[in-house]
């Protein structure tokens, strides 16, 4: 669920940047699910110990990509020359990492394959 939400939020943020409607309040809205997902990942890592599943590593890569997306989106808000294209590329990396996380969960039998 976290992976899908982060991908959706990245899409929303990219759309707002493209429409010149990204505000400081939007950045706070984007950071909330990141903070929650980081807390979840931290707890999952603690429970996993040395036996970390590949899906957790994939999820942590997703969190890194989403954090980078937030930084790029904020830069585009503060300096529009950074542009919507950089934000779209960062959002695409988030979607790719979310898909990687999903595939890892499926491979581990923790999630059903999407049809």
Mind listing the pLDDT tens digit for each residue in 57-88?
Answer: 999 999 999 999 999 999 998 877 668 889 99
Q: Which residues contact 90 (CB under 8 A, 6 or more apart)?
A: 10, 14, 65, 68, 69, 72, 73
Q: Is the dihedral of CA 20, 25, 30, 31 positive or negative?
A: positive
- SS (HEC) of 47-101: HHCCCCCHHHHHHHHHHHHHHHHHHHHHHHHHCHHHHHHHHHHHHHHHHHHHHHH
Neighbouring C-beta atoms of residue 56, cutoff 10 Å? 19
- Residue identified by tokens 């994939």 is 58
For residue 79, the model assigns a pLDDT of: 79
- Work out the pLDDT band at 114, boundaries 50, 70, 90: low
For residue 1, the model assigns a pLDDT of: 74
0.85 exceeded by the pTM?
yes
């Amino acid at each position: 669920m976290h992976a899908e939400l982060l991908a959706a939020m990245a899409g929303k943020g990219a759309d707002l940047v493209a429409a010149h409607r990204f505000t400081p309040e939007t950045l706070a809205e984007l950071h909330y699910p990141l903070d929650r997902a980081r807390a979840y990942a931290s707890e999952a890592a603690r429970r996993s110990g040395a036996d970390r599943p590949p899906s957790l590593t994939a999820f942590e890569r997703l969190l890194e990509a989403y954090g980078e997306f937030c930084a790029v989106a904020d830069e585009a808000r503060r300096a529009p020359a950074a542009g919507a294209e950089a934000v779209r590329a960062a959002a695409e990396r988030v979607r790719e990492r979310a898909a990687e996380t999903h595939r890892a969960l499926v491979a581990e039998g923790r999630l059903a394959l999407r049809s």
